[in-house]
Amino acid sequence: MPATALPAPSPSMAIWSKGGDEAAALVHEFTVGDDYLYDRALAPYDCLGSLAHVAMLAQVGLVPVDQARALSAGLRALHREFIAGAWTVEAADEDVHSKIEGLLTARLGDAGKRLHTGRSRNDQVLTAIRLWQKHELCSAASGVAAAARALLTQARAHEFHPFPGYTHWQRAMPSSLGMFFATHAQALVDDLALFDGAFALADSCPLGSGAGYGVGLPLDRPMTATLLGFARVGLAGADGNGRGKVETAVLDALGAVVNDLSRLAADLVFFTSAECGFFTIGAGFTTGSSIMPQKRNLDLFELLRGRASRFLGLRTGLYATTIGLPSGYSRDLQDTKALCIDGVRLARQGLAVVAAAVPTLVP
């Protein structure tokens, strides 16, 4: 069944709105901004978090079993429909969480509103973010493995191919092409040690922590943590105060990867230039010139090199956002979402580029 179309909510309809203010449209635009675009990344995970929450509510008797079954079926349908592109989060929506609750309520009536029982927007958002972070770290680790594998394949193929070792941009000692590729592969593999720490921080279930100080209902937090695949239940206060810390840890781990990719990119830009001519690269990974037809520019790796600086800006912005904040949630933390998502996407794109381009290098 396709997603039920909902009327665009007015800003005064927001879950936390006090209503009736003539500045509501301006406030909505400023507070939502382009956040809805980033909420799209969280939609599948919000459905999963809500499924676990509904199962727990039924188990402890806070929601009737028949309503829980209807909610679960509705959430599974919304998850499938989102993946299929049948609905998405739009600018007029408050956020993905309200969107999902609204779609359920349109289909199920008041039963859809039971989804929010025993849950704050804070722990709901955090749960979706933590699930997304865990998935992205695993996906990025696979990307690291693919890029390292491409480099090691080249290292084995050219193990004894003579190649100059450089210091200070000058030829310093005899080396091999095998060592060049293997060194870059090893750098990426070393970065995976940082993934372990970031994953461990993200592997704490915030669901049931409410607005950061617990919920006055008999929730079974270990149950939801187990259903969602978390290693442990997070402490209520620590979950709220940890927002921004985990995001920073994720970008720290990926930042090491991006830095290593930028150094590989710098080497390849130099070594494929006419001045060196050590490699050629597949034509599909170069661009031409609008006025000089003989040129084959390695724009792809120049951009990869430059985007390490962009990544650093995202990571710095993320860290700076949390400096000096008091305990508990502050709306400043909303902006950590976009910074983290942009950083993760940038790192994964860079890994995909390297994994695809390196096999086309020919000495």
* Candidates 168, 176, 290, 330; catalytic one: 168
- Rounded to whole angstroms, the Cα distance separating 18 from 39 reads 23
For the record, the structure tokens of 114 come out as 């039971």
Give Cβ neighbours of residue 147 (< 8 Å, ≥ 6 apart): 185, 188, 261, 351, 354, 355, 358
End-to-end CA distance of the chain: 56
* Candidates 53, 289, 290, 327; catalytic one: 289
- Rounded to whole angstroms, the Cα distance separating 252 from 198 reads 8
- Rounded to whole angstroms, the Cα distance separating 252 from 315 reads 7
Q: HEC string of 233-296?
A: ECCHHHHHHCCCHHHHHHHHHHHHHHHHHHHHHHHHHHHCCCCCCCCECCHHHCECCCCCCCCC
Question: For residue 57, which of 39, 46, 72, 37 has the smallest C-alpha distance?
Answer: 72
Q: Is 289 a catalytic residue?
A: yes
Question: For residue 210, which of 125, 123, 131 has the smallest C-alpha distance?
Answer: 123
Question: For residue 99, which of 183, 139, 39, 157 has the smallest C-alpha distance?
Answer: 39
- Rounded to whole angstroms, the Cα distance separating 280 from 214 reads 60
Helix (H, G, I), strand (E, B) or coil at 18: coil
Q: Is 168 a catalytic residue?
A: yes
Using DSSP bridges, classify how beta strands 204-205 and 232-233 pair: parallel, antiparallel or unpaired: parallel
Question: For residue 304, which of 250, 254, 359, 353 has the smallest C-alpha distance?
Answer: 353
Q: Rounded to whole angstroms, what are the CA distances from 120 to 209, 216, 308?
A: 8, 12, 37
Which amino acid makes up residue 185? A
What residues are annotated to the active site? 168, 289
